[in-house]
Amino acid sequence: MTIENRYPGENQLYWVTDNILANDFPDASSALRDPNGLLAIGGDLSAGRLINAYQRGIFPWFNAGQPILWWSPDPRCVLVPEKLRISYSLRKVLRKNKFLVTFNRAFQQVIEACAEPRKGITDTWITRGMISAYTELHQSGYAHSVECWHGNSLAGGLYGVAIGRIFFGESMFSRESDASKVALVHLTQQVRARDFRLIDCQVYSHHLQNLGAEPMPRNMYINILRQYCNPDKPADWPAGPVYP
């Protein structure tokens, strides 16, 4: 696939399919089938553009050195909070209270940990620009982190964006076994208490499937966003330690 690389303005996007200049995102149904979900190229990572993208079922995903690529895959991988699957072994970990779980105590540490190289993977899509953009979203009340601490050490966690009653998961990490899973369990408890409809997981993975995530047709996903993804007010969120 060849993508024409032209940028007449900092805040403009090109449609990948026909390079028509657009000041806003094209409809998600315009996304390519191969690669699945590639929709647009260019633009910026301003808070307003990111919120607009999430409302439309679109997210940025690109490696360092690439232009910004915007995606809306079909189907979409989602986790309905009530369908979280907790294995017997994970229940044992939760009962032991090995980790102290907090919200929004160490957002910067969590996103930087998610950006660290992983085994067998050297490139990262969480660039310095991404870290800066999501830190701005965090400061404005839209992006949130969940931290798992073992003593004074950050053992794992996750971060994402809450708009209306949808949580858009971005990334998670573990430095100790099961730490990111514990973070997800407590995230799910928090969003259920706030009557959230979905946790968006973006793309399928076997790991997420084991935790209860499932594919959803993009048109159904977009319809849910239209009903429950209202950006007028950032979602209320806990702060500080919440679990011993």
pTM for this entry:
0.88
Per-residue model confidence (pLDDT) at position 17: 47
Per-residue model confidence (pLDDT) at position 11: 47
Find, among 114, 82, 62, 109, the residue nearest to 196 by Cα: 82
**Would you say residue 4 lies in a domain?**
no
Q: What is the CATH number of the domain that holds 232?
A: 3.40.630.70
Per-residue model confidence (pLDDT) at position 119: 62
* 151: containing domain: 77-243
Same domain, 91 and 33: no
The upper half-sphere exposure of residue 95, i.e. CA atoms within 13 Å in the direction of its Cβ, equals: 7
Same domain, 45 and 98: no
Same domain, 163 and 52: no
Same domain, 139 and 213: yes
- Tell me how many domains the chain contains: 2
Per-residue model confidence (pLDDT) at position 231: 76
Q: How far is CA 161 from CA 15, 44, 53, 148, 240, in A?
A: 25, 17, 12, 18, 18
Per-residue model confidence (pLDDT) at position 76: 96
Same domain, 144 and 219: yes
User: Which residues of the chain fall short of a pLDDT of 70?
Assistant: 1-23, 119-124, 233-235, 238-244
Per-residue model confidence (pLDDT) at position 16: 47
Same domain, 211 and 117: yes
Question: Beta 198-202 vs 214-216: how paired, if at all?
Answer: unpaired
